[in-house]
Structure 1
Amino acid sequence: MIGGMLQSGIINPRVLDLIARIRHTNTLVIADWAFPYWPEIETVDISLTRGVPTVLQVLDLLTPNFKIGRIWQAEEFLGKNPQETVNEFARSFGQIPLTREPHADFKKRVPGAIGLIRTGDTTAYGNIILESV
C-alpha cells in the first residue's frame, strides 16, 4: 500500500461521505446527466461528460460494500431502451429485488432519499433508487 490513500473501489470523498451515512432502509438515488436537481436532498455530481460515468459503473462499484435490499426503476426504461441495455442493467442488478413503476411514482420517492449521485449517463430512464438492507 502506498501511503494511506485509497487504492481501489470508490475514491471520491464526497461519494464515500454520502454512502457512509446510509443506514437500514435508507435510500440512495443514482441518476443520469439530465435528472432534475432536488433541493431537499444532497447531490454529489460526478458527471464528467455525457456518458461518463454511467449509472451501472457507479452501481457496480457500490455493490461489493453496500447491502442493497431493493432497486426501483421507472417502467418506461423497458420501452425506451434496446434489449442489450436492458440486459446490461439486469446483469448489474443480479438477484436484487427490482420494482419498476411509472416514472411519476419513481420521482415521488426521490425526496425521501439520503442523497443523489448524478452521473453522466445518457440511458433513457436509467435512473435507479437503491434501498439499503
Structure 2
Amino acid sequence: MKRRGLLHPDLSALVARAGHTQTIVLADTGLPVPAGTPCIELGVTAGLPALLDVLRAVLTELVVEGATVAAETRQRSPEWYAGLREVLGEVLEEAPAELPHEALKAALPHALAVVRTGETTPYANVILHCGVNF
C-alpha cells in the first residue's frame, strides 16, 4: 500500500499515465459524462470530497500547464472560483481560461478521464491541461 500521495488506485494510475497536452477533468457530482469517456467516481455524499480538496491532492503529483473553466463559474459561483484561483495560483500565473459551459461539456470526450467528486457547487468543473516535468 502507498504511504503518501494519491491513495485512490484509479486516480493514481490516471495521473501516472497522463501525458503532455492531454487533459483531465475534475468535475462536480452533476456533470454528465459522455458514454465512452472514462470516469472515476469519487463522490461519497453531497460535498464529499470537495473538488478543491481533490485538486490539491492531484497537484502534488500532476504537472499542470493550464486550466479551463466554464465562463459561468465566475458569475454563478464566485466564492468557489476564488478558491480555485487560490489553489491554482502556484500552478498558473494567470486566471484559468474560460469557455461557455456547453463548450466545456463538448470537450469531455477528448479528456483522458473525468474525475467526478462530491462537489455540489454550480459550474464547479475544471479541465486540467497536463504539462511536462522538464
Q: TM-score, normalised by structure 1?
A: 0.90
Equivalent residue, structure 2, for 1:88: 83
Larger Rg: 1
Tell me the CA shift for residue 86 of structure 1. Answer: 2.6
Q: 1:53 aligns with which of 42, 46, 49?
A: 49
Would you say how many aligned residue pairs link Structure 1 and Structure 2?
128
Could you tell me which amino acid in structure 2 is paired with residue 51 of structure 1? G
Unaligned stretches of 5+ in structure 2? Answer: none
Structure 1: which 4+ aligned runs deviate by more than 3 Å? none
Query: Among residues 59, 66, 74, which one is paired with 1:63 in the alignment?
Result: 59
Structure 1 distance, partners of 2:81, 2:26, is: 17
Match of 1:104 among 102, 105, 108: 102
What's the CA shift for 1:102?
A: 0.7
**1:32 corresponds to 2:42:** no
> TM-score, normalized by length of structure 2?
0.89
- Cα displacement (A) at 1:131: 0.7
Aligned-CA RMSD value: 1.3
**Match among 9, 12, 20 for residue 13 of structure 1:** 9
SS at match of 1:48: coil
CA–CA distance in 1 between the matches of 2:23 and 2:66?
9
Unmatched 5+ stretches in structure 1? none
CA deviation vs aligned residue, 1:58-110 (integer Å, no higher than 9, x gap): 1100112211011010010111124x333211111114151011111111211
Q: Which amino acid aligns with 2:66?
A: R
